[in-house]
Amino acid sequence: MKKQVSACLLCFSATITNVALADSMKEAESIYKDVCAVCHGITGKGELPGVPDFTLPNGRLSKSDEVLTDSILDGFKSEGSPMAMPPKGGMPNMSHSQAKDMVKYLKSIF
Ligand code: HEC
């Protein structure tokens, strides 16, 4: 009986974690579509000169999660690039955890 109860608790907490993950991915998706896709495009290939193609196998998304999270929060400009990535993509109220979730989301879809 005791075993059954703890197994049940385990699956219950796994469900909660999955729901939270699904929610944060949904939020990232809607931020991406509303804020980021203007420059990066729904396809991730980039809509404007200087915007990197996220779909390239050894492209920008091969950087570490930490580096990409910082690039999103602080903005980013490569040497000689015609355009910079604006801090938080121009969404001033973006939190650190939203930026981290965004990196997970980008790596999962591109
Ligand atoms: C005004 C256009 C614009 C918007 C809006 C924008 N970006 Fe960018 N982004 C860029 C450009 C341009 C670069 C490349 C900059 C460079 O390499 O000089 C870039 C680069 C990046 C990179 C790669 C950083 C690196 O370290 O190589 C990531 C990740 C990224 N953007 C994510 C996002 C996310 C997430 C959003 C939305 C919250 C967003 N961008 C909104 C223009 C934009």
Q: How far is residue 110's CA from residue 105's CA, in Å, rounded to a whole number? A: 9
Residue 93: how many CA atoms within 13 Å on its side-chain side? 1
Beta carbon of 82 within 6 Å of any ligand 1 atom: no
Residue 89 belongs to what domain range? 28-109
What is the residue-level pLDDT of the chain in tens, covering all 110 positions?
Answer: 566 666 666 667 777 778 888 899 999 999 999 999 999 999 999 999 999 999 999 999 999 999 999 999 999 999 999 999 999 999 999 999 999 999 999 999 99
Residue 56 in domain = yes
Residue 20 in domain = no
Q: How far is residue 89's CA from residue 75's CA, in Å, rounded to a whole number? A: 7
Residue 90 contacts residue 35 (beta carbons within 8 Å): yes
Q: What is the CATH number of the domain that holds 97?
A: 1.10.760.10
Q: What are phi and psi of 76, to 5 degrees?
A: -160, 135
Confidence (pLDDT) at 35: 97
The number of distinct structural domains making up the chain is: 1
Return the residue whose CA atom lies nearest to atom 19 of ligand 1.
Answer: 85
Residue 57 in domain = yes
Residue 52 in domain = yes
Residue 12 in domain = no
Confidence (pLDDT) at 1: 54
Confidence (pLDDT) at 21: 83
Residues facing residue 85 across a β-bridge: 76
Residue 46 in domain = yes
